[in-house]
Structure 1
Amino acid sequence: MEHAQTIPEAREGGGTDPETASALPRRRRGRTALLIAGAAVLGVLAGTVTGYAVQYDREPTPLPPLAQPLPAGPKALAPDDTTTNKTINANRWHKTDDDLGKLLVEAPGGAKVAGTGYEPADAFAAEFFTAPDRALTSLVQTRFRRVASTVWAQDDKVFVKVRLLQFQDRSGADDYQAQQSAYMSDKDRAGNDGVAVPGLSGDLGRVWVDSKAEETPGYLPVRGARVIARRGDIVMDIDYYDNRGKIAERDVIELAKRQLERL
């Protein structure tokens, strides 16, 4: 699945799915190991039979009383107006089960935030992918859960969209991250292998800055960058554009690190 984005342009003078390796079969146990294990089992059985024979003719021995009573646990409270799904499952609650929008990185000072919140799955597919219907079907099959995003602009020059996609389990997030990363090195995309996101291995998160800027007659060159990284069941997918054609890789990496820290 590929994504297609549209960003504001500035006029001149103007202000292949990866292969899944099959699991190796379990190693056959050696004959010596089987013989040793069999001898151990026979020894245990023989000892057990002898023990029962000795105990059979003896009078039963009463057990001593417990040294202390069992500890009294807290009584369950009846639900009231303050009871929520979170309070009931407090010991199993993770911050990613809360509002996903709260985990979005904050825009830098001075940036103009165009919007922050959840995106409906169909709207996300229609905006993000070249084949929305097929993309939506794929998202459903990979147990897609929800997506939250934030968009901002800096000095009418840099345009950023950060998305957090959450799946029902890690396998769905892994599929999305792997499939989207697979084509980023193509010439019509970034045209390079990118670099690993600090704090993650290269197969879990990478940053790509386009090798070439996109040039259209009458407009200044536009250069793009993308971050795709996974942590648990969440994938962060960041689009970063500069409509002056220059992007410092360290700026994109720093943004990726800030977002990763919030996950």
Structure 2
Amino acid sequence: MPEALDVPVVPDVSVAPDVPRRRRGRTTLMIASAAVLGLVAGTCAGYLVQADREPTKLPSLSQPVVAQAKGAGPEPLSAAQDRRVKTDGDLRKLLIKRPKGTREADWLSDDGWMDIGEYAESYTKPAGAFRGLVSDEFRRAAVTGWRVGSTYSVEIRLAQYRQEENLAAADAAEDGHYWANEESGTRSWDIPGTGDGTAYVHTKADTKAGYLPMYEAEAHAWRGDIAMEIWIYDTKPIPKSKIMDLAKQQMERL
């Protein structure tokens, strides 16, 4: 890969203590505790009232048989309508296709998958990122990318989480927003139809001795159990339309 494509890696969001995470707050715990106390108090009062009443005769256990309604019932969702069918299949098929006239990204795996180890390696502190991904119930990630000329490159990732304990996909997108806004000279726009999805253009180039200045644009959004990440790099400023068009196309496929 040419020196101009020495792109920066994604910051390690799993080990930074000041990264905002979705947690159950103290207010929620107080409400839950109050609900439990109310239930106990109501139960005690019920026992006191019942103690002064005459026993009530129980109804017969024999109940009339309700005839089953005619008809086959609601039709099951088709594969096109059932999102679980789509997202539980080959995740790579949900990635947008590489545009004509572009070259394959030679820094990506040939099969289009990233396992948890490969995904953690893209962070600045892989060991901490790996532990965070395990805690977040990382399931798998599909990736694609391409190059145009010797300086322009794109990478798109779909990271999927099991979400048995928390909404990790939403948290991953939120962390992406946090780090994108940390960079100076950043402009941002909402991605239509995504709720809190956002596209970013960093107008200040990343400079290193011996390398050409590198500009960056990125987008973060989520839908269901999938977090979307898009990265664009070039040696010249990246227009809003480039990152926004890719983000809209990719989210439409989810």
TM-score category (smaller protein): 0.5 to 0.7
Unaligned runs of 5+ in 1: 1-5, 11-15, 29-33, 57-62, 74-90
Please state whether the residue corresponding to 1:200 is helix, strand or coil: coil
**1:7 & 1:109 partners in 2: Cα distance?**
21
Q: Does 1:178 align with 2:174?
A: yes
**1:92 & 1:148 partners in 2: Cα distance?**
17
Contact 2:180 2:200 in 1 (8 A): yes
Look up the match of 1:232: 224
Look up the match of 2:112: 117
Shift of the 252–121 alpha-carbon distance from structure 1 to 2, 3 Å rule, reads same
Shift of the 69–196 alpha-carbon distance from structure 1 to 2, 3 Å rule, reads closer
Q: Which structure 1 residue ranges, 4+ long, deviate > 3 Å from structure 2?
A: 19-22, 24-28, 66-73, 215-220
Coordinate RMSD, CA, aligned: 3.8
Look up the match of 1:262: 253
**Superposed counterparts of 1:1-263, under 5 Å:** 8-9=3-4, 16-18=18-20, 20=23, 21-22=25-26, 23=28, 25-26=30-31, 93-114=84-105, 115=110, 117-126=112-121, 128-169=122-163, 171-186=167-182, 189=183, 191-192=185-186, 194-202=188-196, 205-216=197-208, 219-243=211-235, 245-263=236-254
Q: Deviations over 1:134-179 (max 9, x none)?
A: 1001000000000110110123342000011000026111222222
Shift of the 8–101 alpha-carbon distance from structure 1 to 2, 3 Å rule, reads farther
Contact 2:199 2:220 in 1 (8 A): yes
**2:115 & 2:181 partners in 1: Cα distance?**
29
Q: Aligned letter for 2:20?
A: P
**2:119 & 2:67 partners in 1: Cα distance?**
61
Contact 1:207 1:252 in 2 (8 A): yes
The TM-score normalised by the length of structure 2 is 0.68
**2:127 & 2:212 partners in 1: Cα distance?**
34
Q: Aligned letter for 1:123?
A: E
How much does 1:68 deviate?
7.9
How much does 1:69 deviate?
8.5
How much does 1:190 deviate?
5.3
**2:104 & 2:142 partners in 1: Cα distance?**
14
Bigger Rg, which one: 1
Q: How many residues matched?
A: 211
**2:232 & 2:29 partners in 1: Cα distance?**
41
Contact 1:157 1:242 in 2 (8 A): yes
How much does 1:235 deviate?
0.5
Contact 1:142 1:167 in 2 (8 A): yes
**Identity level (%):** 31
How much does 1:183 deviate?
2.2
Q: Aligned letter for 2:171?
A: D
